Amino acid sequence: MRNGLNMKQLKYAIVGVGGLGGYYGIKLAAAGKDVHFLLNSDYEWVNQNGLRLDSIDGNLHLPTVQSYKQAGEMPACDVIMVCLKTTSNHLLAQILPTLTAKGGSVVLVQNGMGMEESLLETFPDLSLAGALAFICSSKVGPGHILHSDYGKLSLGWKQLPKPGLLEQVCNDLSTAGVSNEVVPDLMAARWRKLVWNIPYNGMSVILRTTTAELMAHDFSRQMLRQLMLEVIHAANACLAAKGSGSSSSESRIDPSFADAMLASTARMKPYAPSMKLDYDHGRPMEIEAIYGNPIRLAQQAGYEMRQVALMENQLRLIQSQYIKS
Amino acid sequence: MRNGLNMKQLKYAIVGVGGLGGYYGIKLAAAGKDVHFLLNSDYEWVNQNGLRLDSIDGNLHLPTVQSYKQAGEMPACDVIMVCLKTTSNHLLAQILPTLTAKGGSVVLVQNGMGMEESLLETFPDLSLAGALAFICSSKVGPGHILHSDYGKLSLGWKQLPKPGLLEQVCNDLSTAGVSNEVVPDLMAARWRKLVWNIPYNGMSVILRTTTAELMAHDFSRQMLRQLMLEVIHAANACLAAKGSGSSSSESRIDPSFADAMLASTARMKPYAPSMKLDYDHGRPMEIEAIYGNPIRLAQQAGYEMRQVALMENQLRLIQSQYIKS
């Protein structure tokens, strides 16, 4: 099963064609994979002009793509890659039943924590994987994606795994020139990503700045480090609690991971994290997925993330200043 | 001694004629007390036009005041009220020796913590009291003070008390229509004021807002309350440690004080705290006095104010964006 070369080619549905869905979908389609794009506001434009990717690894233009305006028009797909912002996850209640009626596994390519659990409340029988995108990319125009750094996709099963499927996805990604891996403990991988996302996403919004300025002072690096250590503490409390994953004791995050994150960020180009882009464009921020849910999970495991909770409330107040609920 | 009626009239020096020094100095002078103002940039203007106070308790105009440009020109005073921002305390090394050479006690009318200790390192033999101003007032033009709410001055000895002196000052303040009290434990009073100043001053800057917006949401009130509880914890750790004050066990702050502060702030008019005014005018903020020193003192008493430390570093970054060091 592990060798996908002789297997039936996978059909992909891409739900959410922004910085993530656009990048991975275009790369797969350009490599000859069978990719079907579910579009919303960009549908007419993409139907006329196709999709375009400006990438550090080389530009791609697909003049014609398999595009759809309604989930009901799409064929049965083996892999439904959900690349929406978590703030749009309420749309899935309508979209997913149509797409999964004919089988297929959902791969949730999103940051943060708690989205799989929330999805399984509505769809308890879903074959569900999660994925984390380590990438700097964004949509810069209709059907037009800019990829400026990194790109790796980490995938892991949450429920009802289809044996060999993620490995076949990885083969396809590799063929398409996208670096990838399958992780044994999806929740541990999500926590590790939060060690970066929690300090940098929120602080770039609260302090109206970029990663570079946050890394420019001893005191601000110290602040980031304290936040990282709080996330690592929370992660280890959650991973130690039962039900977190199969290999929780091996998944434990060492505090030295904070220093590794700081060092690798110091080498990055000045960078506005996704939450800063959302803020700059007046879009809702992923506060619940990146802050609220991890805080609640840590609480349930007996650990209070006090600094992270302060940031969450600062972000909620900032969001209330431009989005009236 | 306690009855000041038959005592020699006190001579006052006011150092720093802004929202605080202007208000208390003008009130005392208008009541016929002997008040000497040390001025800097406003000297010429005040010499020509006098001092003006627009106050909710009635407006005052003093066409002529005893004003000085140099500390060396001032007479010997019994009470040297230092009403500078703590960010200008480096000026005291020059000013104070001249003023205290002929005796007299310093009353430090400043927010925050650690200023008395720092002053005593330079002037170990100073007769020193501290005071806390519970007032909404600011300088709105040369020699022109606006007083919009409250006004009470709380005074307490730090070192080498002159018996009866603070009581006589209180008599003078009462005569001038200023509410006042002498507190038995100055450090406890400073901590109690920080329970308000730490959350509201910093958050109004970090979130670019007023007290009213901070009080408008459940989640932001919750955030303020968590910060207040952290300050109360720190205060009690410091007051329990030896050397804090004579009556440290009675000075202990009950956690219910946080709820009382929230309730009284909810009744206030929308208000920009002094740190927000400093930020809005591009002046340095009192980060060290209101955040850095209390954090360090709590640490020495064995308690980490993690949320307050986060705020301190956020403020330092914001200040570095408009003041290059």
Q: What is the pLDDT of residues A26-53, one digit of tens each?
A: 999 999 999 999 999 999 999 999 999 9
Asked if residues A182 and A156 have their Cβ atoms less than 8 Å apart, the reply is yes
Q: What is the pLDDT of residues B238-282, one digit of tens each?
A: 999 855 455 556 789 999 999 999 999 999 888 789 999 999 999
Alpha helices in B176-254 (DSSP H): 186-206, 211-214, 218-240, 248-251
| B290 and B303 housed in the same domain | yes
Average pLDDT along chain A: 94
* Beta-ladder partners of A145: A53, A139
Helix axes B92-100 and B115-122, enclosed angle (nearest 10): 70
Are B314 and A223 an interchain contact pair (Cβ–Cβ within 8 Å)?
yes
Stretch A272-301: mean pLDDT: 96
Are B307 and A311 an interchain contact pair (Cβ–Cβ within 8 Å)?
no
| B156 and B192 housed in the same domain | no
| B266 and B135 housed in the same domain | no
Asked if residues B279 and B219 have their Cβ atoms less than 8 Å apart, the reply is no
**HSE, side-chain direction, 13 A CA sphere, residue A22:** 31
Backbone angles phi and psi of B202, in degrees to 5: -65, -45
pTM of the model: 0.93
| B88 and B214 housed in the same domain | no
Asked if residues A228 and A253 have their Cβ atoms less than 8 Å apart, the reply is no
pLDDT of A1 strictly over 50: no
* Number of Cβ within a 10 Å radius of residue A181: 14
| B164 and B229 housed in the same domain | no
Q: Which residues of A are catalytic?
A: 193
Stretch A265-292: mean pLDDT: 93
Q: Give the β-pairing of B128-141 and A79-82.
A: unpaired
Q: Which residues of B are catalytic?
A: 193
For residue A209, give the amino acid letter: T
**HSE, side-chain direction, 13 A CA sphere, residue B52:** 13
| B198 and B237 housed in the same domain | yes
Q: What pLDDT does B4 receive?
A: 44
Alpha-carbon span A212 to A95, nearest angstrom: 39
| B260 and B242 housed in the same domain | yes
Backbone angles phi and psi of A56, in degrees to 5: -60, -20
Q: What is the pLDDT of residues A100-110, one digit of tens each?
A: 998 999 999 99
Domain boundary among A134, A149, A183: A183
Residues of B in contact with A307 (CB under 8 A): 306-307, 310
The secondary structure element, H or E, covering residue A180 is strand A180-182
Interface of B with A (CB under 8 A): 203, 206-207, 209, 213-214, 217, 219-220, 222-223, 226-227, 230, 306-307, 309-311, 313-314, 316-318, 320-321
Are A311 and B311 an interchain contact pair (Cβ–Cβ within 8 Å)?
no
Residues of B in contact with A318 (CB under 8 A): 207
Choose among B9, B49, B316, B20: nearest CA to B152.
B20
Q: What is the pLDDT of residues A232-277, one digit of tens each?
A: 999 999 999 855 455 556 789 999 999 999 999 999 888 789 999 9
Instruction: Give the mutation candidate from B314, B316, B321 for the A interface (greatest A CB count, under 10 A).
Output: B314
- Residues 6+ away with beta carbon under 8 Å from A313: B219, B220, B222, B223
pLDDT of A133 strictly over 60: yes
Q: How far is CA B130 from CA B71, B108, B119, B205, B288, in A?
A: 21, 5, 11, 26, 17
Interface of A with B (CB under 8 A): 203, 206-207, 209, 213-214, 217, 219-220, 222-223, 226-227, 230, 306-307, 309-311, 313-314, 316-318, 320-321
DSSP result, A28-40: HHHTT-EEEEE-S
B246: domain CATH number is 1.10.1040.10
Q: What is the pLDDT of residues B52-99, one digit of tens each?
A: 999 999 999 999 999 999 999 999 999 999 999 999 999 999 999 999
ipTM given for this complex: 0.92
Choose among A80, A117, A85, A116: nearest CA to A97.
A80
Are A226 and B306 an interchain contact pair (Cβ–Cβ within 8 Å)?
yes
- Residues 6+ away with beta carbon under 8 Å from A55: A23, A145, A146, A147
Are A313 and B213 an interchain contact pair (Cβ–Cβ within 8 Å)?
no
Are A209 and B307 an interchain contact pair (Cβ–Cβ within 8 Å)?
no
- Residues 6+ away with beta carbon under 8 Å from B311: A310, B198, B202, B203, B206, B227, B291
Average pLDDT along chain B: 94
Q: What pLDDT does A248 receive?
A: 56
Asked if residues A280 and A260 have their Cβ atoms less than 8 Å apart, the reply is no
Q: What pLDDT does A251 receive?
A: 86
Residues of A in contact with B311 (CB under 8 A): 310
Q: Give the β-pairing of B60-62 and B51-55.
A: antiparallel
Asked if residues A17 and A41 have their Cβ atoms less than 8 Å apart, the reply is no
Minimum distance, in Å, between the CA of residue A270 and any CA atom of chain B: 16
pLDDT of A80 strictly over 60: yes
Q: What is the pLDDT of residues A192-248, one digit of tens each?
A: 999 999 999 999 999 999 999 999 999 999 999 999 999 999 999 999 985 545 555
Structure tokens belonging to residue A96? 């997913």
pLDDT of A148 strictly over 70: yes
Residues of A in contact with B214 (CB under 8 A): 317
A108: domain CATH number is 3.40.50.720
| A25 and A174 housed in the same domain | yes
Stretch A117-143: mean pLDDT: 96
Minimum distance, in Å, between the CA of residue B238 and any CA atom of chain A: 21
B68-84 core/surface letters (b: 16 or more CB in 10 A; e: else): beebeebeebbbbbbbb
Are A311 and B310 an interchain contact pair (Cβ–Cβ within 8 Å)?
yes
Are A310 and B311 an interchain contact pair (Cβ–Cβ within 8 Å)?
yes
Q: What pLDDT does A154 receive?
A: 98
For residue B249, give the amino acid letter: S
- Residues 6+ away with beta carbon under 8 Å from B263: none
Which range of residues forms the domain containing residue B95? Answer: 4-183
Residue of A nearest to B199 (CA): A310
Residues of A in contact with B207 (CB under 8 A): 206, 314, 317-318
What is the 3-class SS of A255-295, one letter each residue?
A: CHHHHHHHHHHHCCCCCCCHHHHHHHCCCCCCHHHHHHHHH
A-B Cβ pairs (cutoff 8 Å, strict): 72
- Residues 6+ away with beta carbon under 8 Å from A130: A107, A108, A109, A110, A115, A116, A155, A156, A158, A186, A190
Minimum distance, in Å, between the CA of residue A64 and any CA atom of chain B: 46
pLDDT of A164 strictly over 50: yes
Q: Give the β-pairing of A60-62 and B105-109.
A: unpaired
Select the residue of B219, B306, B317 nearest A313 (Cβ to Cβ): B219
Confidence of residue A325 (pLDDT cuts 50, 70, 90): confident
Which portions of chain B are predicted below pLDDT 70? 1-6, 242-249
At residue A182, the 3 state secondary structure works out as: strand
Are B310 and A227 an interchain contact pair (Cβ–Cβ within 8 Å)?
yes
- Residues 6+ away with beta carbon under 8 Å from B274: B19, B111, B138, B201, B286
Instruction: Give the mutation candidate from A200, A219, A291, A318 for the B interface (greatest B CB count, under 10 A).
Output: A219
Asked if residues B81 and B95 have their Cβ atoms less than 8 Å apart, the reply is no
Residue of B nearest to A221 (CA): B313
Instruction: Give the mutation candidate from B291, B310, B311 for the A interface (greatest A CB count, under 10 A).
Output: B310
Structure tokens belonging to residue A178? 């996208």
Domain boundary among A124, A153, A183: A183
| A25 and A98 housed in the same domain | yes
Q: What pLDDT does B251 receive?
A: 86
Domain boundary among A156, A183, A210: A183
| B171 and B235 housed in the same domain | no
Instruction: Give the mutation candidate from A209, A228, A305, A313 for the B interface (greatest B CB count, under 10 A).
Output: A313
Q: How far is CA A119 from CA A123, A178, B54, in A?
A: 6, 27, 61
Residues of A in contact with B222 (CB under 8 A): 313
Minimum distance, in Å, between the CA of residue B318 and any CA atom of chain A: 7
The structural domain count of chain A equals: 2
Structure tokens belonging to residue A189? 């991988």
Minimum distance, in Å, between the CA of residue B124 and any CA atom of chain A: 32
| B48 and B133 housed in the same domain | yes
| B198 and B168 housed in the same domain | no
